[in-house]
Amino acid sequence: MKISEMFGKGKTILSFEVFPPKKTMPVDTIYETLDGLKDLNPAFISVTYGAGGNAADRTTCEIASAIKHKYGIESAAHLTCVNNSREDILKILGDFKECGVENILALRGDINPNVPPKDDFKYASELITFIKENGSFGISGACYPEGHLDSENMVEDILNLKKKVDAGAEHLMSQLFFDNSCFYNFLEKARIAGVNVPIEAGIMPVTNKKSIERMVSMCGASLPPKFTKMMQRYENNPEALRDAGIAYAIDQIVDLISNGVDGIHLYTMNNPYVAGKISNAVSSLL
């Protein structure tokens, strides 16, 4: 089932994101995570692109296939183009088709200063066009409530987002944010610009101070005073910070659902406990 077909029923859907294990970890550890997530009944689970974003690594494809066929949950495989040629992407699309993966989140990917990027695809919109021309996949794109770090301003970022939709993206997942007003302002601008596909709000619960600081530095999300005070108060108490982070994420999600957002995409960080606490707290609202 294509992810875009899950929307339009007057309800907010809840989906999850997981990531393949690091190279130093057995791949089977992801199935322990999925065992803990399956009973939470997400609409779908997306799988980030693994091991350096190269065509030789089939981990993302295999995990996405298992989510769909072993666990009976629709899946979406992330696909980045910054380090892939057209031939690489064609091979990956062939793998996805063979494994029964129907949905793709098409991304440019992060540029590694130590690895010269391939030049076949400069933007995610070009990758989306290529996928559209070479298969019948459901295509999702990423969006950035506070603007992509490479964009000069929000106007430019929204125009680039419109290009993704015009190229064939049927559904969007947002980068993480901690201030809902940023998402609402972005959503208003996107709709005015003619971006009319379903847009999911990306929520990442805070469970570790260092990891959240790293993510914020990578994506540019702002930290509202309420969030900063929470971090400062509990930064030396891991259990308290975890519970406060869960409560903060629940508060965000309740507000988003109350305002009728299309969906919530929960960055689980492969932590079924945290995902379960949040899912159970908001299940009656969905």
For 47, phi then psi, to 5°, come to: -125, 120
State the pLDDT at residue 52.
47
Active site residues: 17
Query: Is the pTM value of this prediction over 0.85?
Result: yes
Rg (CA), the chain: 18
Tens digit of each residue's pLDDT, the chain (286 residues): 999 999 988 899 999 999 998 877 777 889 999 999 999 999 999 999 864 444 446 899 999 999 999 999 999 999 999 999 999 999 999 999 999 999 999 999 988 778 888 989 999 999 999 999 999 999 999 999 999 888 889 999 999 999 999 999 999 999 999 999 999 999 999 999 999 999 999 999 998 888 777 777 778 889 999 999 999 999 899 999 999 999 999 999 999 999 999 999 999 999 999 999 999 999 999 9
Per-residue tokens: 35: 């065992």
State the pLDDT at residue 251.
98
State the pLDDT at residue 53.
45
Query: CA triplet 272, 4, 1: central angle to 5 degrees?
Result: 75
Residue 45, beta-bridge partner list: 16, 75
The CA distances from residue 278 to 3, 25, 68, 261, 281, in Å, are 22, 26, 23, 17, 5
Per-residue tokens: 278: 């949040």
3-state secondary structure of 138: strand
For 91, phi then psi, to 5°, come to: -65, -45
User: Cα separation of 261 and 10, whole Å?
Assistant: 10
DSSP string, 193-256: TT--S-EEEEE-----HHHHHHHHHHH-----HHHHHHHHHHTT-HHHHHHHHHHHHHHHHHHH
